[in-house]
Amino acid sequence: MKEQLEQIRAAAKQALSGAATGQDVDALRVRFLGKKGELTAILKQMGSLSPAERPAIGQLANEIRADIEQAVAQRMRAMQEKATAHRLQRETVDITMPGKVSPQGCLHPVNLVTEDLIAIFQSMGFDVVDGPEVETEYYNFTALNVPQDHPARDMQDTFFLGDDLLLRSQTSCAQIRTMETRKPPIRVICPGRVFRADEVDATHSPVFHQCEGLVVDKGITMCNLKGVLEQFAREIYGPETKVRFRPSFFPFTEPSVEVDVSCAECGGKGCRVCKDAGWIELLGAGMVHPNVLRACGIDPEVYSGFAFGIGLDRLAITRYKISDIRLLFENDLRFLSQF
C-alpha cells in the first residue's frame, strides 16, 4: 500500500506538470483527491491493515494528500501568473505615442447664425415664439393683408395641401397668432422653416429658413425699427457695418423697406461677393399695416408696430462667404466640418 501511495504522488505531480489549462488541473484534482479518486480508493483498503501499520500509512496518506493539494495550488497560481503576464504584455500602452482623436460633430452654419440671432434679439428684450409649418390660407395670406388676386397665392409660389391648408411661405404667420393671443406690448421673433415653389439653384431652394420679428406698442416708429436692425447688423457682421434702407412694398407693412448692409468682404468698395455694388440685401421690413393690427383685434389708433423678416440661409451665406445655397442642404461632411 505504501508503494501504491508513492506511485499516486509521483503520477499526480507528473500529470500536473503537463496540465495546460485550469480545467485540466481541476480534472486532475478530482482524479486523485475526489471522493472517487485514486487516493480515496487506496484509503478505503486501510481496514485490511494491521493496527500497527495503520498509523504510518494514514500519516503517509495525509502527507501525500497535502503534497498533491499544494502542487495543484502551485500549478493554478503559475498558470494565473502566466495569463496575467501575457495579458499585460498584450495590453501594454505606449504613453509616448500620440493619442487618437475621435471626430466630433459641429453645429450646422444655419444653426450657428440662428443661435447668434436669437441671442442678439433676446438681449434686446425679444421673446422667441414658434408656429406650425402647415398653415391655413387665412394666417398665411388673408390676415396679413394679402389680396385674393396677389401672385403669392398662385400655385406656382405656394405649396397647397388642399382643404384650405398649405405649407407656410413665410414665418409672418406667427405675427398673427402672437397678436391674437397676446396684448401689447409685444416683442417677439419667430425663426423656422418656410416653403416656396422655387427652382433649386445657387441662390434658391424650395425649403429655406426665415426669422420673423414683431414689435407692437404705443409710440413705435420707423426710428425704432432702424435702431433695432442697425444694432443687429453690427452684432452679426461687425461694428463697422453700415445699414441702408430702400423703399419697397409688402402687403402687410406700410411703409415698407428693403434693408441692405455694407459688404463685409470689400468694406463697401465693390467686389465679386456683392456684385460690385458695395451692398448686400439682408432683409425686408416696415411698419405693421393698420389692417393687420385690426385683423388681430388691436386698435391701430392706439398702437403701432414694426415687423421684419430675415432669411437665415442668406445670413449664413453672407456671414461665412458661402457661394452656393445648395451646400447648406447636401450634408457633405467636407463642407460641414469647416464649422
Q: What is the pLDDT of residue 152?
A: 64
DSSP 124-139: TT-EE----SEEEHHH
Q: How far apart are CA 13 and CA 247, in angstroms?
A: 104
User: 100-114, 144-158, 175-189: which has the highest mean pLDDT?
Assistant: 175-189
* Counts of helices then strands in the chain (DSSP H, E): 11, 10
User: Where does the pLDDT of residue 221 fall: very low under 50, low under 70, confident under 90, or very high at 90 and above?
Assistant: very high
What's the mean pLDDT in 76-103? 84
Give the CA count within 13 Å in the CB-facing half-sphere of 36.
1
What's the mean pLDDT in 208-216? 94
Lowest mean pLDDT among 59-73, 136-150, 233-247, 280-294: 59-73
Pick the more confident residue, 35 or 255: 255
Q: What is the pLDDT of residue 215?
A: 97
- For the CA atoms of 198, 200, 204, 207, what is the dihedral angle to 10 degrees? 70
What residue spans of 101-218 are helical by DSSP H?
109-123, 137-140, 173-181
Lowest mean pLDDT among 139-153, 248-262, 276-290, 316-330: 139-153
Residue 273 has pLDDT above 80, yes or no: no
Pick the more confident residue, 100 or 213: 213
Pick the more confident residue, 64 or 247: 247
Q: What is the pLDDT of residue 110?
A: 94
Contacts with 120 (C-beta within 8 Å, 6 or more apart), sequence order: 231, 232, 235, 236
Q: What is the pLDDT of residue 47?
A: 64
Residue 155 has pLDDT above 60, yes or no: no
Q: What is the pLDDT of residue 230?
A: 94
Residue 129 has pLDDT above 90, yes or no: yes
What's the mean pLDDT in 58-85? 82
Residue 144 has pLDDT above 80, yes or no: yes
For 241, the grid coordinates are 457695418
Comparing CA positions, the residue from 308, 289, 316 lying closest to residue 121 is 308
User: How much is the CA Rg of the chain, to the nearest whole Å?
Assistant: 42
Residue 153 has pLDDT above 70, yes or no: no
Per DSSP, the three-state class of 69 is helix
- Residue 178's Cβ-count burial label (10 Å; 0-12, 13-18, 19+) is buried
Lowest mean pLDDT among 61-65, 72-76, 288-292, 329-333: 61-65
Q: What is the pLDDT of residue 307?
A: 96
Q: How far apart are CA 55 and CA 43, in angstroms?
A: 12
Q: How far apart are CA 138 and CA 141, in angstroms?
A: 5
What residue spans of the chain are helical by DSSP H?
2-17, 22-33, 38-43, 54-90, 109-123, 137-140, 173-181, 222-237, 290-295, 312-320, 333-336
Q: What is the pLDDT of residue 282?
A: 86
Q: How far apart are CA 24 and CA 51, in angstroms?
A: 38
Q: How many residues are there in the chain?
A: 339
Model pTM?
0.67
Q: Give the tens place of pLDDT for each residue, 98-114.
A: 888 888 888 899 999 99
